[in-house]
A and B are shown apart, each in its own frame.
Chain A
Amino acid sequence: MNDKEIQEHVRDALGAAHQEQAPPFDAVWLAAEQRHRRSRRRYAAVGGIAASVAVLAVVAGLWPSQETALTDEYLIADSLLNGTQWSAPSDALLPQHQIDIYQDMPVLLESTELNEGSLL
């Protein structure tokens, strides 16, 4: 059996098994155009709503701005500086009033009086 015969048999069999009565082209095309238009309108509506929401958010001050971000950073640094302290382990050896140590300077060298031009 050659290709041509098989083809004829298969083609006839398809025709007998299923009726392929296509709906009119114009009707299908029109429906497709309407579907396309609806789809475009839907996309436009969704885009419009998204833009409106963004504008409203900016207007209402909900949108995070640059200023807010800087203030936040300043506040973080400030709280860190105020809230952080460090002390060395040797601080315990220091007297209570550290500044007193240097108040009375000890006399390290006292020259003797001159006796006939030379130090005693």
Chain B
Amino acid sequence: MREHAALDRNPQVSLEALEALHSQLYGWALSRCGYDEALAEDLMQQAYVEVLSGRARFDNKSTLKTFVFGIVQNLARSQFRQMAVRLRLIRIYTNPDEQQHDSTSEADHSEQQLIWKAVEALPQRQRDITELVFCRDLTIEEASQIMGVTVGTGRVHYDRAKKALAVALAELRQKESKL
């Protein structure tokens, strides 16, 4: 039975609300850590410690989802980014075949993989806002808040990302129709 009491140092946050967001938050944490599961779990724990300790205090100025996504984003930015890059580099250098396979077997990729490759090819902020709006069901305003940019800047990133993806998808369809 889940306890219903709010957290001591974050009285506006309840465990049920956090649990409801857990899966989506994990997805976001994974994305912040280069899809390394161990790092993502560590990041989630650290985010929950921030909430538990009251170092990050929720004051209802935004939605709880924006708040916790923001914590993960900030932690990842400060602690995990370098680690994730290092891990990615280690993986590349310790297993070069994998990379070779990725680059040489593009013809075998499914449409979805190609679309995701197009997403990954976007500049970081465009990619972030695409993921937050398209995959994590946030508004552009909320996504901008999490990314720490103004709504105007967020809209510009969103618009550019959408156009780039539309072009990529159109090219993909053209290739399919030729085949």
- B84 within 8 Å of A (CB atoms): no
List residues 1-39 of chain A with CB under 8 A from any CB of chain B.
1, 3, 5-7, 9-18, 20, 22-23, 25, 28-29, 31-33, 35-36, 39
CB distance from B23 to the nearest CB of A (A): 5
B26 pairs with A35, CB closer than 8 A: no
Instruction: Tell me which residues from 68 to 121 in chain B have a Cβ below 8 Å from any Cβ of chain A.
Output: 110, 112-113, 115-116, 119
B80 to chain A, nearest CB (A): 15
How far, in angstroms, from A23 to B23 measured CA to CA in the complex? 8
In the complex, A25→B68 CA distance in Å?
14
10 pairs from A and B in contact (CB 8 Å cutoff): A6-B162, A9-B112, A9-B169, A14-B135, A17-B113, A18-B30, A25-B18, A28-B41, A32-B48, A36-B52
Chain B contacts of A12 at CB under 8 A? 112, 115
Closest to B25 in A: A22
Contact A20 B170 (CB under 8 A): no
Q: What 1/0 flags go to B15-34 for Cβ under 8 Å of A? A: 10011001100110010000
CA distance A13 to B45 in the complex (A): 27
User: Which DSSP category, helix, strand, loop or mixed, fits chain A's interface?
Assistant: helix
- A contact residues vs B (CB 8 Å cutoff): 1, 3, 5-7, 9-18, 20, 22-23, 25, 28-29, 31-33, 35-36, 39
Would you call B19 and A25 a contact (CB within 8 A)? yes
Inter-chain contact A10/B23, CB cutoff 8 Å: no
A-side contacts of B46, CB under 8 Å: 32, 35
Name the residue of chain A whose CB is nearest to the CB of B21: A25
User: How distant is A33 from chain B, measured CB to nearest CB, in Å?
Assistant: 6
- Are A35 and B44 in contact, CB atoms less than 8 angstroms apart? no
Q: How far, in whole Å, are A5 and B135 apart by their CA atoms in the complex?
A: 13
Residues of B close to A22: CB separation below 8 A: 22-23, 26-27
Is the Cβ of A6 less than 8 Å from the Cβ of B169?
A: yes
- Is B49 a contact of A23 with CB atoms below 8 Å? no
By the criterion CB–CB under 8 Å, are B49 and A10 in contact?
no
The docked-state distance in angstroms from the alpha carbon of A14 to that of B110 is: 12
Contact A10 B134 (CB under 8 A): yes
In the docked arrangement, what's the CA distance between A12 and B165, Å? Answer: 14
Besides the contacts A14-B131, A36-B52, what 17 more A-B pairs have beta carbons closer than 8 Å? A6-B162, A7-B134, A9-B112, A9-B115, A9-B165, A10-B130, A13-B113, A14-B119, A15-B112, A16-B112, A16-B113, A17-B113, A18-B35, A20-B30, A23-B26, A29-B48, A35-B49
Asked if B166 is an interface residue, CB under 8 A from chain A, the answer is yes
Closest CB pairs A-B (n = 7): A32-B48, A22-B26, A13-B115, A13-B116, A16-B112, A17-B116, A25-B22
